[in-house]
Amino acid sequence: MQVTNDHPREIYNGDLGIVRRIDLKEGELVVLVGQKKALSIAVRGQ
């Protein structure tokens, strides 16, 4: 669940998503929000 508004990505507080892929080697998290919008987020390993 998104907890803050992200206007540039058009993702808003309360939007739900499904994690589609976690790639720690590439540092990427891909979340499917709604039916058509895939959100790619950069992540850092520990």
SS3 9: helix
7: pLDDT strictly greater than 60? yes
Give domain status of residue 29, yes or no.
yes
- Residue 30 belongs to what domain range? 18-46
pLDDT mean over 15-35: 89
In this structure, is residue 7 part of a structural domain? no
Is residue 3 domain-resident? no
- The residue whose two tokens read 């309360």 is 14
SS3 8: helix
CA 45 to CA 24: how far, in whole Å?
A: 6
Q: Where are the beta strands (DSSP E) in 1-46?
A: 17-23, 28-33, 37-42
Supply the pLDDT for residue 19: 93
The pTM score is 0.67
Domain count, the chain: 1
